[in-house]
Amino acid sequence: QVRLVESGGGLAQPGGSLRLSCQATGFPFNSFAMSWARKAPGKGLEWLTGIRADGTGIITKDSVKGRFTISRDNAKNTVYLQMNNLKTEDTAIYYCAKGRANAVVADQSDYDYWGQGTQVTVSS
């Protein structure tokens, strides 16, 4: 069955960096778009960025553009989120999601599987 497992979260200081990973199994990873989203305390799910199956077509939300970068390694069935210049408002649970097709869309309904999430806390 489809499984997405995030890792790499933790505590970072403002201005610091973290790289999240999402290991995927149970489906042809190189055929589907993947995305990252987050849920901050007291807020709804926020889609952040997505990438097509071949690594092209990256779309990133303006609020994190220039700081967050998505990438993927199809040989390892893994999608990454590099987060730089972290801010306290980046504190959230971060989720990776599998697209229903090979298209990057900033809409939760276009993703059919989600990981369990990894906690990122940005604090001094």
Asked whether residue 109 carries a pLDDT value surpassing 90, the answer given is no
Q: Tell me: the pLDDT tens digits for 31-73?
A: 999 999 999 999 999 999 999 999 999 999 999 999 999 999 9
Residue 31: count other Cβ atoms within 10 Å of its Cβ: 12
pLDDT at 46 (0 to 100): 95
Q: Tell me: the pLDDT tens digits for 84-106?
A: 999 999 999 999 999 998 988 88
Mean pLDDT of 10-30: 98
pLDDT at 69 (0 to 100): 98
Exposed e or buried b per residue across 38-55, where buried means at least 16 C-beta atoms within 10 angstroms of its C-beta: beeeeeeebbbbbbbbee
Residue 70: count other Cβ atoms within 10 Å of its Cβ: 22
Determine how β-strand 10-12 pairs with β-strand 118-122.
parallel
Taking the CA atoms of 7, 91, 56 and 101 in sequence, report the sign of the dihedral they define: positive
DSSP 3: E
